[in-house]
Amino acid sequence: MKRLLMIAVIGCVAGAVPRVSTEQKFSFVDLQPYANQKRADNLGTGAQGNNLAELPAGEQVFGAAKFKVGEGLLQLGSKVLEKMPEKVEAINVDRKLAKLHLLHATCFGGGPNKPGDAWFVVDGTLIGEYRVNFEDRSAIIIPIVYGQDVRDWFYVEGEKEPSRGKVVWKGENERAKEVHARIRLYVTTWENPWPNKTVTTIDYWSKKDQTVAAPFCVAITAEEK
């Protein structure tokens, strides 16, 4: 059989963040079998106290969706974070869905960094993508664009929020305090144009050789019709 592969690049939908309705049906994509970092690890460059330990674990509501926050997360690499992988493939989904809610951010790009700094990322830079794979071997690419979907998880007072994703959690860690910053996570919501087809897997990719930004994903939630 000739393999069918259709790739479409579709932007993520974001508007006013509604409250979670009791009629919404959420199911959690289990990231733990694929996790390569723990929330309590020293993330990024590995500076002491640079972690997400303050983020509440278990079932949580962030923005317009419920998530299940586990011990581990998916960390991708970049020109700065060379030790981490370019991609995490074949994350099992195996269900039909109307939307995907992505709880994520990136290491490096903003926060204390300013234009001209080696670790500064310009808005509009493509830093990664999620590839949603369907049972008929078609696929859709969800781009991760700096300044639109996410920004650095470090931020300073007055720093802009992304134009498409939503800031859903803010906190602190010891490293952020040292550089007079705080930390935050974002939710991107993607509407599936093919809700009657089963999503089999998701592949999570970075642009490791092209940018200093190193995306990471904490949780993914599927929402049924």
Q: Look at residues 164, 156, 154, 141 and name the one whose alpha carbon lies nearest to residue 184.
A: 154
> Has residue 36 been placed in a domain?
yes
pLDDT of 2? 39
User: Domain total for the chain?
Assistant: 1
pLDDT digits (tens, 9 = 90+) for 147-159: 999 999 999 988 9
Question: Confidence class of residue 24 from pLDDT cuts 50, 70 and 90?
Answer: confident
> Has residue 7 been placed in a domain?
no
Q: Is the pLDDT confidence value at 173 over 50?
A: yes
pLDDT digits (tens, 9 = 90+) for 46-91: 999 999 999 999 999 999 899 999 999 999 999 999 999 999 999 9
Q: Look at residues 204, 6, 205, 202 and name the one whose alpha carbon lies nearest to residue 93.
A: 202
Taken in order 97, 207, 178, 40, the sign of the CA dihedral is positive
Amino acid at 220: I
Tabulate helix, strand, coil % of the chain (nearest 5).
5, 45, 50
Q: Which residues contact 162 (CB under 8 A, 6 or more apart)?
A: 147, 148, 149, 150, 151, 186
**Structure tokens that stand for 90 in this block:** 């074949």
Higher pLDDT, 225 or 212: 212
pLDDT digits (tens, 9 = 90+) for 119-147: 999 999 999 999 999 999 999 999 999 99
Q: Is the pLDDT confidence value at 185 over 60?
A: yes
Q: Is the pLDDT confidence value at 17 over 80?
A: no
Question: Confidence class of residue 22 from pLDDT cuts 50, 70 and 90?
Answer: low
Q: Taking the model in full, what pTM does it have?
A: 0.90
> Has residue 178 been placed in a domain?
yes
> Has residue 13 been placed in a domain?
no
> Has residue 79 been placed in a domain?
yes
Residue-number span of the structural domain to which 83 is assigned: 25-223
> Has residue 218 been placed in a domain?
yes
Give the whole-angstrom CA distance, residue 210 versus residue 225. Answer: 37
Q: Is the pLDDT confidence value at 11 over 70?
A: no
Burial of 23-32, coded b for 16+ CB within 10 Å and e otherwise, reads ebebeebebe
Higher pLDDT, 157 or 225: 157
pLDDT digits (tens, 9 = 90+) for 91-119: 999 999 999 999 999 999 998 888 989 99
pLDDT of 21? 58
> Has residue 1 been placed in a domain?
no
Give the whole-angstrom CA distance, residue 80 versus residue 183. Answer: 19
> Has residue 10 been placed in a domain?
no
- Longest Cα separation, the chain: 58
| 178 DSSP assignment | H
